[in-house]
Amino acid sequence: MAELVAGALLSASLQVLFERLASEEIPKLFHGKKAILDLLYELNTMLSSANVLSNDAEERQLGNEEVRKWLFKLQDVIYEAEDLLDRIDYEALRSKLEGESRRGTNTVLMNFIPTLMFTAFDNSVKQDATEILRKLKILLDQKDVLGLRKSFQNKPYQRPLARLVEETSVYGRDTDKEVIVDLLLSNDYSGNKISVIPIVGMGGIGKTTLAQLVYDDDRIQKHFELKAWVTVSDEFDIYKITKTIFEGVSSEKSDTIFEGVSSEKSDIGNLFELQRKLKEAVRGKKFLFVHDDVWNENYPLWDALKSSFESGANGSKIIVTTRIEKVASIMTTGQNRHLTYLSQEDCWQLFVGHAFGSNVDLINAYQDLQEVGRDIVNKCKGLPLAIKSLAGLFRSERNPKIWENILNSHAWDELYRIEDTILPALWLSYRHLSADLQRCFAYCSIFPKDYEFEKEKLILLWMAEGLLKSDRGSKCKEERGDEYFNELLSRSLFQQYQGRRGHGSVIRMHDLVHDLAIFVSGEVFFRLDLSNALHSLSDNTRHLSFRKGTCDLNKLKVLCKAKCLRTFLALPLDELSERDYSKYPVPYDLLLPRGSCLRVLSLSQSSIQELPDSISNLKHLRYLDLSLTEITELPDSICTLYNLQTLLLSWCEKLSRLPKNMGSLLNLRHLDIEGVPLKEMPPQITNLKYLSTLSQVVLGYGQSGFKIKMLNDFERLNGKIGIFGLENISDAAEASEGNLKDRKRLSKIHLRWNANAGVAESSQKEKAVLDALRPHTNLTDLEIEFYRGTIFSDWVVDNSFSNLVKVCLKDCKNCLVLPPLGQLPSLKDLTIDGFDSVVSIGDEIHGNGTSFSSLEYLWISDMLEWKEWSFSEAILEVGVFPRLTRLGIYNCPKLVIGLPGYLPSLERLGIRDCEEMEVLLFRNQQSVTASFSLNSKLKSLTLNRCKTLFKNSVNWDLQRHSCLESLNITAWEDESFPVEGLLPTTLSKIYIQQCSKLERLNGKAFQQLTSLKTLHIHVCESLRCLPEEGLPTSLEALSISYCPLLKQRCEEGGEDWPKISHITSLSLKNI
């Protein structure tokens, strides 16, 4: 189906080419070489001619195979022209940089030579431009044969009127309906005479269906005097909209859904007169208008339209359905109602209703279809339109094999071919994007389905591919990318989800939206995975991605087919953490040939240890990712990659220096060296004026090396920065030269002294330096490591840092007490690690007033002398950490009591290597909080290597934790586990690991666990057998590994085999 929309990206690519061909650098580079300049001028002219034909070709391709082929050929020629201009841009930049380094040469001679002589580069440009013009001429000569005409814009698209719905055929929208009905029936207390209620969501989510349910509700019928429904769609024509509403409120017509009160006709040609009549028709009357499928983002147009019905009575309402947040924001007077995907059960009910019609009980006669049917429905990911379309395919089909074929297909081409609903619905969203946004959206097809990506990383890729326009105004490329990203998000083409550990967010595309991206990008993009065979790699492929660890890249000789490859991308973009993952080899011979077109090269987590000098062949490279590799050095030749914008080296733990000529990379904007043990910064680093990401700097000693004041040379710095080697700062005055307090765009700062710097000369001096390092209050993330003072600066806990959500204080071994971190109003995530001098944690950490009002995650580790929590009764009464959901205490060998007091919001608790811990909670606190524990929210408990705590297991009192679902035990000290009555019956998962003394499982205790579904037993070398009583019948998954005494007993035919043979998911790995 990709061919149905081939060429939809051409106009955007052509616009970029026109701008590049008009660059002032081209006449300078080819000064005196008229033959080349004439060829480039002719190229611009012929591309313009192709551009005015492309819109018509895009419309005609749907029914004309020859036009489709013509578009693909034009696309190839455009790529060739882009490659040519890339070479020209590189040569212009190289000449400029190398010319500046030879300023001592006779300038008269330097200017004279290129005027009279054609270089090898000039000849290659002339040859390539001539060949591109030849191909363009052939294509343009075919326009009459193909019937192509000049067209400067796409025709407006009018969506068909929505089908009428019956409430009984709608599932999962009861809550949404009631919310909107309540809004319609209630008064607007914000003072607005007419309220606008937007329903926002992606195409096919059910916005129009919901609006119809509300519109037809009996309560709504009685409440409003006038009602009208208008499908606005693509073109926001004020006259047509006004006319439709006027007819709806001024007459009753049997062939429309409108209801009205008078008999006037609207055959009025003049918009002003029509608006005046509508204004009179609604004057003093309470009305409900539905504006369905609105795309208009122009506020003056909306303002002009609504002026016609502002004479209506108080309490009048307008429902707007739209896919675009911006549309809602310019029309609404209140909050938007965002429609989410349907639940799995609602999806199934909707599917059954459409696949089996009114005879819903018929599904019971086809039991073999139920399982595969539910799997098919799950593929729809909660999208009602997709479910109904799929159900239509199966309405007359009862053959299970055909159902399974649809389920196992990797794309939904069959559905798109047969059902003429999904593609048009989603195509409209794509068609409404600007040309630049279309290219950015199509690029996302390089990711596999269900891939989670981060905004910042996607923007860097867009920038590297040249998809972000330069702005001569105030916006940089990254800001333009942020704008594009938010636009796609607001149009529901992206879906945002909460990231790990509650911070940040990740983005996914719905499967059908991802399919659309694949369709518009065609065979230019290739995703190498288990479902995409190498033999289907095309000569036209220019962008390739692959999943780390899923393919043998030594077999990629077929890559030589993709001679114009621009992207070689290893996924995921962040770290792959699977245990059995092995680093993949790098096919240098295929990736680094002379003349390569690569813009993006990602070798993250590869086996690479040395980057060859031939990296300099990649003259067009803009994005290089070597993160998480064992590379030991970068060759000096990398400094000739003048187009390089992004260099990612994070966690290259064997890399200790950067090339000394790094200053030549004048276009470098992002240098990520987090986790790289650099000894010093390269001397020319301050030449990189465009750097906006510099994840760390290493301060030099004495007069040499990088100084903190040099940060002022990087005016665009934003995001994160680590400042290491702070022991080399002589005094507070030098520290203040970094002007961190003025860095509004820095969100994360890591301040680090050298761990081996020795004892500070003066604690007062250390504090004065830290005082001078005060950052801007926009800070969201702070880490301080190896600080040598005894007390922290006041700014660390200043409540003016209202954006600070994460703090990590690590290895500050001279500090006797913790600072009052509770005063930070937005603090959600706190890590305290390696405070060797702290013996007690108590009221001092709270400070004054409301304390820890936002804290959700607390991690305390490596506190070798910490013995107790010591909070006063006053603090205990109001709550120590009232919103804490996760608590981890690791390697605190002298701590006796695990919890500081009652934690009403705690959901996950992990305690590890706390040898002297006796109980989780004070006994007197247990009695005080007994009534609350019945409502405990604790869901997961992990206890690892807690010898004394295990001996006192009778005091755990876990029965009171009625929500506990998961228990993880490591290094249990007894021969049997668990003690009868120890564990609550709510447990559904148990992990038993590395218990060398464990010989048997208590059968009676396990039989009490009636909710247990998952049991993992790992490295219990003394475990002799499974319980005689067997395991709970509720068990669905059992995993046993590295338990040698169970090997023969648990194998088929063994003594314990009858106890486990019935379990659905059974894994006996390396037993």
Residues 6+ apart with CB under 8 A from 208: 162, 292, 293, 321
What pLDDT was estimated at residue 572?
83
Which amino acid is present at 863? M
Question: pLDDT digits over 421-449, tens only?
Answer: 555 667 777 877 888 898 999 999 999 88
The number of C-alpha atoms within 13 Å of 39 and in the hemisphere containing its C-beta is 21
Q: How far apart are CA 622 and CA 331, in angstroms?
A: 41
Tell me: pLDDT of 252 over 70. no
What pLDDT was estimated at residue 113?
45
Q: How far apart are CA 254 and CA 289, in angstroms?
A: 19
H or E segment and range at residue 123: helix 120-141
Least confident of 31-40, 129-138, 390-399, 831-840: 390-399
Give mean pLDDT, residues 799-818: 95
CB 328 within 8 A of CB 322: yes
Give mean pLDDT, residues 75-102: 84
Tell me: pLDDT of 852 over 50. yes
Measuring CA to CA, which residue among 689, 729, 738 is closest to residue 710?
738
Give mean pLDDT, residues 284-296: 92
Residues 6+ apart with CB under 8 A from 47: 14, 17, 18, 21, 78, 81, 136
Of the pLDDT bands very low, low, confident and very high (cuts 50, 70, 90), residue 783 is very high
Of the pLDDT bands very low, low, confident and very high (cuts 50, 70, 90), residue 540 is confident
pTM, entire model: 0.82
Superfamily of domain 167-338: P-loop containing nucleotide triphosphate hydrolases (3.40.50.300)
DSSP, collapsed to helix, strand or coil, labels residue 415 as: helix
Per the model's pLDDT, the better-predicted residue between 412 and 601 turns out to be 601
Question: pLDDT digits over 89-117, tens only?
Answer: 888 888 877 766 655 444 444 443 444 57
Residue % of the chain over a pLDDT of 90: 48
Tell me: pLDDT of 159 over 90. no
Q: How far apart are CA 522 and CA 538, in angstroms?
A: 11
What pLDDT was estimated at residue 959?
83
Tell me: pLDDT of 379 over 90. no
Q: How many residues comprise the chain?
A: 1071
* Token pair listed for 1051: 């194998």
Task: Report how far apart the first and last C-alpha atoms of the chain are (Å, whole number).
Answer: 49
* Token pair listed for 304: 């002009």
Mean pLDDT of the chain: 84
What pLDDT was estimated at residue 496?
82
Tell me: pLDDT of 309 over 60. yes
DSSP3 helix / strand / coil % (the chain, rounded to 5) = 40, 15, 45
Per the model's pLDDT, the better-predicted residue between 28 and 676 turns out to be 676
Per the model's pLDDT, the better-predicted residue between 120 and 528 turns out to be 120
Per the model's pLDDT, the better-predicted residue between 317 and 591 turns out to be 317
The string of DSSP codes covering 644-691 is --EEE-TT-TT-----TTGGG-TT--EEE-TT---SS--TTGGG-TT-
CB 748 within 8 A of CB 720: yes
Per the model's pLDDT, the better-predicted residue between 936 and 454 turns out to be 454
* Token pair listed for 908: 């996950």
Helices 10-21 and 65-100 meet at what angle, rounded to 10?
30
Tell me: pLDDT of 511 over 50. yes
Our CA dihedral for 434, 435, 440, 443, rounded to 10 degrees, sits at 140
Give mean pLDDT, residues 814-841: 95
Per the model's pLDDT, the better-predicted residue between 592 and 189 turns out to be 592
Where exactly are the structural domains of the chain?
2-146, 167-338, 344-424, 507-647, 965-1071
Per the model's pLDDT, the better-predicted residue between 924 and 1063 turns out to be 1063
What pLDDT was estimated at residue 251?
60
Which amino acid is present at 278? L
Question: pLDDT digits over 606-649, tens only?
Answer: 888 889 999 999 999 999 999 999 999 999 999 999 999 999 99
DSSP, collapsed to helix, strand or coil, labels residue 288 as: strand
Tell me: pLDDT of 590 over 80. no
Least confident of 35-49, 61-75, 233-247, 339-353: 61-75
Measuring CA to CA, which residue among 924, 919, 926 is closest to residue 952?
919
* Token pair listed for 954: 């009778």
Of the pLDDT bands very low, low, confident and very high (cuts 50, 70, 90), residue 585 is confident
Per the model's pLDDT, the better-predicted residue between 57 and 678 turns out to be 678
Which amino acid is present at 114? P
Highest averaged pLDDT of the listed ranges 371-380, 413-422, 487-496, 973-982: 973-982
What pLDDT was estimated at residue 169?
75
The string of DSSP codes covering 777-844 is TT--EEEEES--SSS--GGGG-TT-TT--EEEEE--TT-SS---GGG-TT--EEEEE--TT--EEEGG
Class of domain 507-647 as given by CATH: alpha beta
Tell me: pLDDT of 14 over 80. yes
Of the pLDDT bands very low, low, confident and very high (cuts 50, 70, 90), residue 7 is very low
DSSP, collapsed to helix, strand or coil, labels residue 752 as: strand
What pLDDT was estimated at residue 110?
45
Tell me: pLDDT of 71 over 70. yes
What pLDDT was estimated at residue 19?
84
Which amino acid is present at 840? S
What pLDDT was estimated at residue 579?
39
Tell me: pLDDT of 503 over 80. no
What pLDDT was estimated at residue 109?
41
Tell me: pLDDT of 881 over 90. yes
Tell me: pLDDT of 553 over 70. no
Least confident of 12-21, 787-796, 825-834: 12-21
Tell me: pLDDT of 921 over 80. no
What pLDDT was estimated at residue 997?
94
Tell me: pLDDT of 1 over 50. no
Of the pLDDT bands very low, low, confident and very high (cuts 50, 70, 90), residue 354 is confident
Residue % of the chain over a pLDDT of 70: 84
Which amino acid is present at 799? N
Q: How far apart are CA 571 and CA 651, in angstroms?
A: 17
Of the pLDDT bands very low, low, confident and very high (cuts 50, 70, 90), residue 502 is very low
What pLDDT was estimated at residue 419?
44
What pLDDT was estimated at residue 107?
46
Provide the sign of the torsion angle of the four alpha carbons 394, 400, 402, 404, taken in this order.
positive
Q: Which residues pair with 724 in a beta bridge?
A: 698, 752
* DSSP alpha helix (H) spans, 848-981: 873-878, 923-928, 930-933, 947-951
Least confident of 63-77, 243-257, 897-911: 243-257
The number of C-alpha atoms within 13 Å of 86 and in the hemisphere containing its C-beta is 25
CB 250 within 8 A of CB 227: no
Chain CA centroid to CA 121, Å? 42
Q: How far apart are CA 1046 and CA 858, in angstroms?
A: 39
What pLDDT was estimated at residue 274?
86
What pLDDT was estimated at residue 934?
39
DSSP, collapsed to helix, strand or coil, labels residue 15 as: helix
What pLDDT was estimated at residue 947?
93
Least confident of 149-158, 614-623, 676-685: 149-158
Per the model's pLDDT, the better-predicted residue between 702 and 918 turns out to be 918
What pLDDT was estimated at residue 289?
95
Nearest-5° Cα angle at 793, 789 to 799: 150
